[in-house]
């Protein structure tokens, strides 16, 4: 049993996202639980997820998870808000390892932050339509008032690198006009791309709105789950990070290093079923 446990501790954690955005979660892992090995998969061949149908998103999330299971991971972290919103229940039902998404931790962080109970959430069309954050927040406190806005162009802006300046500002003002009037004191960035636009979003909404990014809250939950299950890797060395993508490894490395404060040494291309 001890040997068994020891080998379980040493297994990597699998993380997937539709692309580079989930690297914000890897960054937090590096900061908070640096001993863990990580296998990260960015599904760049089928990015973006946020405009796809729920059925398609479930199919993609299951394929990605099964691919990570081939690396003998001890846990799967769904870093993608869209996949967490739409596919998490199905993944939990079907996978033989713990599965952690970003919606519950992000909602928990927002609930701790808010003083007036008015919380904004911005994300992709699929995330907002799913109602996942709205459900989780009102489960935490039925008195919360939740204001959700889909901002699909933010993903393209972040990919294009236009994260500040007049174009980003005008798009932010267009999407966030109603939120600005809603009296929220906390905003959840419900898409892993949006932290790149944080400054523009914050300038648009004003200093009195606290911005919550779910990456840190998610990694705290991973930490707790590893502790509770006694499977934290505590051999004292820094974990090994492997990065896999389904398309364009070079582009992933290039954009990825904007997201991550550590360097990305090697990115390997894998082929899924299609």
6 binds a second copy, rule: CB under 8 A:
no
Site map 32..71 versus a second copy, x via CB under 8 A: -------------xxx---xxx--x--x---x--------
Q: Residue count at the site for a second copy (CB under 8 A)? A: 28
Rounded-to-integer distance, Cα 41 and Cα 20, Å: 9
156 binds a second copy, rule: CB under 8 A:
yes
Q: Of 160 and 266, which has the nearer Cβ to a second copy?
A: 160
Near a second copy by CB under 8 A, which window of 84-92, 141-149, 224-232, 266-274?
266-274
Q: What angle do CA 8, 96, 84 make, to 5 degrees?
A: 110
Task: Please select the residue that binds a second copy; options are 98, 117, 152, 239, rule is CB under 8 A.
Answer: 152
Active site annotation includes 80: yes
Number of other residues whose CB lies within 10 A of the CB of residue 63: 18
DSSP codes of every residue in 83-138: HHHHHHHHHHHH-SS-EE-SHHHHHHHHHHH-SSSEEEEEE-HHHHHHTHHHHHHH
Task: Determine whether 180 is exposed, middle or buried from the number of CB atoms within 10 Å of its CB (0-12, 13-18, 19+).
Answer: middle
| Residues 6+ positions from 78 with CB-CB distance below 8 Å | 16, 61, 84, 87, 88, 91, 99, 100, 101, 102
Q: Of 55 and 237, which has the nearer Cβ to a second copy?
A: 55
149 binds a second copy, rule: CB under 8 A:
no
Give the shortest CB-57-to-a second copy separation in angstroms. Answer: 10
Active-site residue identified among 68, 80, 95, 176:
80
Q: Under the rule (CB under 8 A), what is the footprint of a second copy?
A: 45-47, 51-53, 56, 59, 63, 152-153, 155-157, 159-160, 162, 166-167, 170-171, 174, 247-248, 251, 272-274
């Amino acid at each position: 049993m001890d040997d068994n446990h020891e080998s379980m501790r040493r297994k990597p954690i699998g993380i997937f996202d539709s692309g580079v955005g989930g690297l914000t979660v890897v960054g937090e892992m590096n900061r908070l639980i640096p001993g863990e090995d990580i296998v990260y998969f960015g599904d760049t061949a089928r990015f973006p997820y946020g405009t796809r149908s729920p059925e398609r998103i479930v199919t993609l999330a299951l394929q990605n998870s099964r691919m990570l299971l081939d690396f003998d991971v001890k846990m799967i972290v769904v870093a993608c808000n869209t996949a967490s919103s739409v596919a998490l229940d199905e993944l939990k039902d079907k996978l033989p390892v713990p599965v952690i998404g970003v919606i519950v931790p992000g909602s928990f962080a927002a609930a701790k932050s808010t003083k007036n109970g008015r919380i904004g959430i911005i994300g992709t069309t699929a995330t907002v339509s799913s109602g996942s954050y709205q459900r989780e927040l009102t489960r935490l406190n039925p008195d919360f008032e939740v204001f959700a806005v889909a901002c699909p162009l933010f993903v393209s802006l972040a990919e294009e690198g236009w994260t500040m300046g007049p174009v980003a500002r005008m798009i932010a003002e267009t999407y966030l006009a109603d939120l600005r009037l809603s009296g929220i004191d906390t905003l959840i960035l419900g898409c892993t791309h949006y932290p790149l636009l944080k400054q523009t979003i914050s300038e648009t909404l004003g200093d009195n709105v606290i911005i919550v990014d779910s990456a840190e809250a998610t990694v705290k939950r991973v930490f707790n789950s590893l502790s509770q299950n006694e499977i934290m890797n505590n051999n004292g060395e820094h974990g090994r990070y492997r990065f896999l993508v389904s398309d364009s490894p070079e582009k992933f490395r290039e954009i990825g290093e904007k997201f991550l404060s550590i360097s990305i040494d090697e990115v390997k291309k894998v082929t899924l079923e299609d």
